[in-house]
Amino acid sequence: MIDERVGPGMVTSMSVYDIPIRTLAGDDASLAPYRGKSVLVVNVASKCGLTPQYEGLEALHERYADRGFSVVGFPCNQFMGQEPGTAEEIQSFCSTTYGVTFPLFEKIEVNGDGRHPIYETLTSVADADGHVGDIRWNFEKFLLAPDGSIQRFAPTVTPEDPVLIAAIEASLA
């Protein structure tokens, strides 16, 4: 899905934005409404040591929403069964526990034979430490910039991390 003619990290017109997905409520969707905007894609889980990152993700979503930024979450149960809930349970947990208003999409697989096509594209991008390939844990982050470039951040990079904030702000400039 990456067109090498435009360089690593750049996506073509047939990209993550065009891949069919479903909302957490089960409706057909895609990331197309976010094309030309800045979006932070995160694989999330409700029963993980990193789950409190929901609070920071929501704060980022609120802080930059008026500048064309959004966080989007993809629940995933591949890491020690830390997202066992139904769509309704996930939505309820996120909204009541962390006040999440950013979009949540269907529970998907981010690794292995059942890896969702969006993550086929995202996992081909290396993070600052050079890690490419499989998602390591819940809350791995991918910043899709308006120009189509993708930056990857490790799960331990918190939403408050100055490096992540600087990348978001640069993508909004």
Block residue for tokens 């269907």: 106
CA neighbor of 138 nearest in space, from 61, 80, 84: 80
SS3 for 62? Answer: helix
User: Is 8 in contact with 127 (CB distance < 8 Å)?
Assistant: no
Q: How many CB atoms lie within 10 A of CB 143?
A: 21
Phi first, then psi, for residue 95 (nearest 5°) are: -75, -40
Q: Write down the catalytic residue from 21, 40, 41, 48.
A: 48
> What is residue 138's DSSP assignment?
T
Annotated catalytic, 76? no
CA distance 165 to 60: 8
Instruction: Give the active site residues.
Output: 48
